[in-house]
């Protein structure tokens, strides 16, 4: 059994991580740390876990030996905890702390997008889990970048559910504000652009085009849909063939011949892609669950790779359609 420690156990991503590992056939949770909720029953915070995990309580310290630690902390806080973790323990960080600057405290973090660098993840002891928007967008772009085919600017619009804002209260994730409402934010300046540019530049060395990204807050709880378009001189069939070939050995990415929607992927670790061509523009629509393939599900996928077990172990989940 892979023995698990979770630091920062009260957020949405931590809740989904606990749920996934509870039913993972080869992993076991040893400790869930939360300094703010120390001593409380975990299911009093994550009410969907009542009746699922018994009477596990939040700890204040990592008291037991574990094989891997998931850091589910707010951005900027992982570095503080990492200083306390022995270098022989594997770490998967779900914040943005190590996605760009990968070296810290004798650790070299690998960007944990399995569809990008699965073999490197298998050999790594430290993983920087990608951002949810970055995952959805990069999966719609990787085949183009790998084949040196991004020739002009990339335009992206994307809408995310309210769980992407976390549990901390703010005006823009309050029900009364979010319900029956849609708004843009961080236009052209969203923090995930940096990791997207970093990945594309590493794949396509001469990439110097602009990325224009417009994110939206949606009036639903979970899921992301992105629409990316950029110039192509290939036919739609040639693009589809390229995408199918690229994702052939990746169990969670599917190319659809029909239009897609968020409900198809909520509660799964899947990402669906739908390709269209209009004039000389390739349009790629992607959908995923921001809390699973965009966060905790992808973290478990990375754990599976790091411990050399089946990539989809514990992640065979069906969508909640209704």
Residues 35-71: tens digit of each pLDDT: 888 888 989 989 899 998 888 888 888 767 899 999 9
Across the chain, mean pLDDT equals: 92
- In this predicted model, which residue has the larger pLDDT, 204 or 102? 204
pLDDT-based confidence at residue 113 (cuts at 50, 70, 90): very high
- Residue 72 is a catalytic residue: no
Identify the pLDDT of residue 166: 59
Q: What is the CATH number of domain 2-129+295-306?
A: 3.40.50.720
Nearest to residue 184, comparing CAs of 195, 169, 172, 194?
172
At 200-241, the pLDDT tens digits run 999 998 898 999 999 999 998 899 999 999 999 999 999 999
Q: How many CA atoms lie within 13 A of 90 on its CB side?
A: 21
How far is it, in rounded angstroms, from Cα 322 to Cα 317? Answer: 15
Nearest to residue 154, comparing CAs of 165, 169, 144?
144
Identify the pLDDT of residue 52: 87
Identify the pLDDT of residue 76: 80
pTM here is: 0.94
For 301, other C-beta atoms within 10 Å of its C-beta total 28
Identify the pLDDT of residue 132: 96
Nearest to residue 286, comparing CAs of 264, 308, 303?
264
pLDDT-based confidence at residue 178 (cuts at 50, 70, 90): confident
Q: Which of 72, 132, 271, 313 is catalytic?
A: 132
Q: What is the CATH number of domain 132-288?
A: 3.30.360.10
Q: Where are the domains of the chain?
A: 2-129+295-306, 132-288
How far is it, in rounded angstroms, from Cα 225 to Cα 216? Answer: 10
Identify the pLDDT of residue 110: 97
């Amino acid at each position: 059994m892979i023995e698990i420690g979770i630091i920062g156990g009260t957020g949405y991503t931590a809740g989904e991580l606990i749920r996934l590992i509870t039913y993972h056939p080869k992993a076991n949770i040893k400790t869930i740390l939360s300094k703010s909720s120390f001593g409380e029953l975990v299911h009093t915070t994550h009410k969907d876990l009542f009746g699922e995990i018994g009477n596990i309580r939040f700890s204040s310290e990592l008291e037991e030996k574990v094989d891997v630690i998931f850091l589910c902390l707010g951005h900027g806080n992982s570095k503080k905890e990492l200083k306390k973790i022995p270098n022989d323990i594997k770490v998967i960080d779900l914040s943005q702390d190590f996605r760009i600057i990968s070296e810290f405290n004798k650790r070299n973090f690998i960007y944990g997008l399995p569809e990008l660098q699965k073999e490197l993840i298998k050999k790594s002891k430290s993983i920087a889990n990608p951002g949810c928007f970055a995952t959805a967008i990069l999966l719609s772009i990787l085949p183009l970048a790998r084949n040196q085919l991004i020739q002009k600017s990339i335009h992206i619009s994307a809408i995310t559910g309210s769980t992407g804002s976390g549990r901390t209260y703010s005006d823009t994730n309050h029900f009364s504000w979010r319900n029956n409402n849609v708004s843009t934010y961080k236009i052209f300046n969203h923090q995930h652009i940096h990791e997207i540019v970093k990945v594309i530049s590493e794949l396509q060395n001469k990439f110097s085009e602009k990325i224009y990204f417009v994110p939206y807050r949606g009036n639903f709880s979970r899921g992301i849909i992105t629409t990316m378009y950029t110039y192509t001189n290939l036919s739609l069939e040639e693009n589809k063939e390229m995408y199918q070939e690229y994702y052939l050995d990746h169990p969670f990415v599917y190319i659809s011949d029909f239009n897609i929607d968020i409900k198809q992927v909520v509660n799964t670790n899947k990402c669906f892609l739908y390709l269209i061509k209009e004039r000389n523009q390739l349009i790629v629509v992607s959908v995923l669950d921001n809390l699973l393939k965009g966060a905790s599900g992808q973290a478990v996928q990375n754990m599976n790779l790091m411990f050399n077990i089946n990539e989809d172990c514990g992640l065979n989940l069906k969508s909640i359609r209704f």
